[in-house]
Amino acid sequence: MNPNAVYQKCIHADCGATCDVGDVHVACPVCGELLDVVYDWSKLPVPARLADFAARWAGRANPLDFSGVWRFRELLNFCDDRCRVTLGEGQTLLTPNAGVGRYVGLKDGGLFLQYEGLNPSGSFKDNGMTAAFSHARLVGARRVACASTGNTSASLALYAAHAGMQSIVFVGSGRIAFGKLAQALDYGARTLQIAGDFDACMRRVKEAAKRLGLYLMNSVNPFRLEGQKTIMLRVLEALAWQAPDWIVVPGGNLGNSSAFGKAFGELKELGLIDRVPRLAVINAAGADTLDRLVNQKKLRWNGGQYDKAALAEDWAWQDRTHRLPHTIASAIEIARPVNAAKCLRALSICDGVVRSVSDAEILDAKAQVGRCGLGCEPASAASVAGARRLVEEGVIDRDARVVCILTGHALKDPDATVGYHTGRFAPGKEVEGPRNFANLPVQVDDDIDAICRAVGE
Ligand SMILES: *Cc1c(COP(=O)(O)O)cnc(C)c1O
Ligand SMILES: [Zn+2]
């Protein structure tokens, strides 16, 4: 047992090695598995009731109380206030949405959207970056790096610019949505376009980080997940601390789903909630590794003794068969999710399920979200498409309370949106399927009669 109140610990039950909170590792130094941030709650101040956090809103002139992440700081208490880096992240919204609820097939009032597109860089990633940058400051890092499908690099570049650190991002050539690339460039990140997909970038950034001593900000960094736990705290807060029946979240690298599971596990352990919601993690059909591992290969957390070899075998099978991920939902176009093992734990804590949905389903669901007054990027809509599938299957009851996480803002990937509505997708990003809610722009002559006819008299 580590004597410190906060430390890092290997997640595999057969190892369980620990290291200090101020150490910088991207994997367990003993066995190479993922690390967790672990709290000895008996040595830390923890509020008696979750409702005490909401009271902080009255003190929002303090940036840490304004932040939707640091408002909950006792539950991610790995550094002191001086290290905490914040940009006012987490001012996000949970709203019921009747239109999307009907589309999903739920009874009135059953569907809620947690809109993480409202974050400073336009995606949920800011929840994690604020935490990882705080750890980077704690350890005195100067250069930070990540591999990214787009949003991680946008968020990293923003927080680095804010914190006065140098950022280096690795993106797959031609795979990144333009809104996200634009952000990385604008925020001054050194942007390397690697000839390869996300998984190739991930491999390379780890090598480069080791050789050059860069602080790695991918979600192998356990501190990012600490920040992402607060998405669930805000969901609970918005529901007057009553857990919903289901949380539905898109799955890419599986950092978010892992963080959600950890949050509920800790809240339960602290006695701050008595019921844990069920979790549904939704893959894109073209990047369905988790679906395969859980539903076909029956991989389970197994009390921390998960089958490491099964993961390695799957990766090797992907190599042998030259399987590459492909989906319009670029944020979840990931075939070797680095947090797979932690996600298994989340599925175990939350009695979770995994499904995959097609790109056509994703884009239809996205168009519904837009039409119903929020808007999101393609990956986010996988949650709505997934919820719809699960209601159809009868796994989610029609009278359940369901929260779908909208992970990113609609403006992140305008090409996908315009492609869907016009039928003209960018080369290499074509989506087959019906486009049930396409809203075609109308070509009209510069003539007032023609215009009035087109508007509808
Ligand atoms: C990163 C990202 C995801 C995937 O989240 P993971 O934590 O990697 O599973 C989904 N949607 C958007 C918009 C993202 O940026
Ligand atoms: Zn280990």
> Residues 184-224: pLDDT tens digits?
999 999 999 988 877 788 889 999 999 999 999 988 999 99
Closest to 149 in 3D by CA, of 295, 65, 255, 74? 255
Cβ–ligand 1 distance for 407 under 6 Å, the answer yes
Nearest atom in ligand 1 to the alpha carbon of residue 376 is: 13
* Beta carbons of 7 and 19 less than 8 angstroms apart: yes
Closest to 100 in 3D by CA, of 359, 355, 373, 363? 373
Provide the pairing of β-strand 246-250 with 278-284: parallel
* Beta carbons of 189 and 167 less than 8 angstroms apart: yes
- 348-400 pLDDT tens trace: 999 999 999 999 999 999 999 999 999 999 999 999 999 999 999 999 999 99
CA distance 248 to 125: 17
Nearest atom in ligand 1 to the alpha carbon of residue 228 is: 7
Cβ–ligand 1 distance for 379 under 6 Å, the answer yes
At residue 278, the 3 state secondary structure works out as strand
Mean pLDDT across 111-128: 98
- 54-75 pLDDT tens trace: 888 889 999 999 999 999 999 9
Q: Which residues contact 54 (CB under 8 A, 6 or more apart)?
A: 237
Give me the chain's average pLDDT, please. 95
pLDDT value for 92: 94
* Ligand having the closest approach to the CA of 28: 2
pLDDT value for 1: 67
pLDDT value for 278: 98
| Alpha helices (H) along 372-413 | 378-392
CA distance 71 to 53: 6
Helices 151-163 and 125-138, axial angle in degrees (round to 10): 40
- Which residue has a Cα nearest atom 14 of ligand 1? 331
Nearest atom in ligand 1 to the alpha carbon of residue 334 is: 8
- Which residue has a Cα nearest atom 2 of ligand 1? 331
Portion of the chain with pLDDT greater than 90, in percent: 89
pLDDT value for 47: 86
The first and second tokens of residue 94, run together, are 């949970």
* Beta carbons of 428 and 422 less than 8 angstroms apart: no
The first and second tokens of residue 174, run together, are 């031609």
How many beta carbons lie within 10 A of that of residue 285, not counting itself? 18
Q: Which CATH architecture has domain 93-121+224-422?
A: 3-Layer(aba) Sandwich (3.40)
Q: Number of C-alpha atoms within 13 angstroms, CB side, residue 196? A: 15
For residue 308, how far is its CA from the centre of ligand 2 (angstroms)? 11
Closest to 235 in 3D by CA, of 411, 405, 106? 405
CA distance 426 to 293: 31
Provide the pairing of β-strand 6-10 with 18-20: antiparallel
Cβ–ligand 1 distance for 151 under 6 Å, the answer yes
